[in-house]
Amino acid sequence: MAEINALVEAGSVSAGPPLGPQLGPLGVDIGQVVSEINEKTKDFEGMEIPVTVKVDEDTNEFEIEVGTPPTAAMIKEEVELEALSSHPKDEKVADMFIEQCIKIAKSKLPDLNCSELKSAVKQVVGTCVSAGVMVEDKDPKKVLEEIDEGKYDEEIENEKTELTEEEKEEIRKKREELQEKMEEREEEYREKAEEILKQIEQEEKEEEEEFSRDEKVSRLEAEEIPYEIIVEYLPEEEEEEEGEEEA
């Protein structure tokens, strides 16, 4: 029994890489395999999904096992964001209802190391902590406490996953509000970075010595300037290419 493991784009698998070239030598009907995978993964369209194809080389029969996307990817899809927070402690980028956490937990339950939906919901909410996503307009750590206290037992026991149109609109408005706050904070970081770099420039003139990039980066990091903003002002130096021809 041959086994092929691959990460594929759900609902859009083709006979090309990564699966096609691996399936070809096994004599299996590639079109049939691709069609079945696309059918099984269509609910996660647009996300990457782990897939295992087992092929009996004697009979050309096959079995397909489909996993689920990482929890963080499912959260990002659920809240319709291009990226989650790079600084989850300070920057919140979206808000979710507990119903959305239950929805993700139900999908992830077969892949999680737990047998109860409540435990799976807690894992999803826990991922929200590191993703910078609030739950029920609260810090997800607080929601974890509330889950333990039984506050959401009814929703979890009834596997409530649907939102009203009003709730969906509330999520959209909250996301826009958080995005505006994040943009304001980024602008504050940039202004602070410019101020620090001007101070460094003045010190260089007074000491008649140029500071290294690492020294400048350390000064900015000490003031908690995010690294992605630091590299806007201090681009990373390109490494010298190996194997340069000797003169």
The confidence band for 155, taking pLDDT boundaries of 50, 70 and 90, is very high
Mean pLDDT value of segment 214-222? 91
44, 66, 88 - which closes a domain: 66
What's the CATH code of the domain at 17?
Answer: 3.30.1550.10
Is residue 193 located within the same domain as residue 220?
yes
Domain count, the chain: 3
pLDDT(77) > 60: yes
pLDDT(244) > 60: no
37, 66, 95 - which closes a domain: 66
pLDDT reported for residue 23: 87
Q: Which ranges constitute the DSSP H helices of 109-164?
A: 117-131, 140-149, 153-157
What's the CATH code of the domain at 153?
Answer: 1.10.10.250
pLDDT tens per residue, range 48-68: 888 999 998 888 889 998 888
Is residue 13 located within the same domain as residue 32?
yes
Mean pLDDT value of segment 240-245? 44
Is residue 58 located within the same domain as residue 99?
no
Please tell me which residue, 194 or 87, carries the higher pLDDT value: 194
For Cα atoms 221, 188, 236, give the angle at the middle one, nearest 5 degrees. 40
Do 163 and 121 form a contact (C-beta atoms < 8 A)? no
Contacts of 162 (CB under 8 A, 6+ apart): 99
Question: Within a domain: residue 215?
Answer: yes
The confidence band for 238, taking pLDDT boundaries of 50, 70 and 90, is low
pTM above 0.75, yes or no: no
pLDDT tens per residue, range 12-42: 888 888 888 888 888 888 999 999 999 988 8
Mean pLDDT value of segment 205-215? 89
Contacts of 31 (CB under 8 A, 6+ apart): 15
Question: Within a domain: residue 246?
Answer: no
24, 42, 66 - which closes a domain: 66
Q: Which domain, by its residues, includes 47?
A: 2-66
pLDDT tens per residue, range 82-140: 888 888 887 888 899 999 999 999 988 888 878 899 999 999 999 999 999 999 989 99
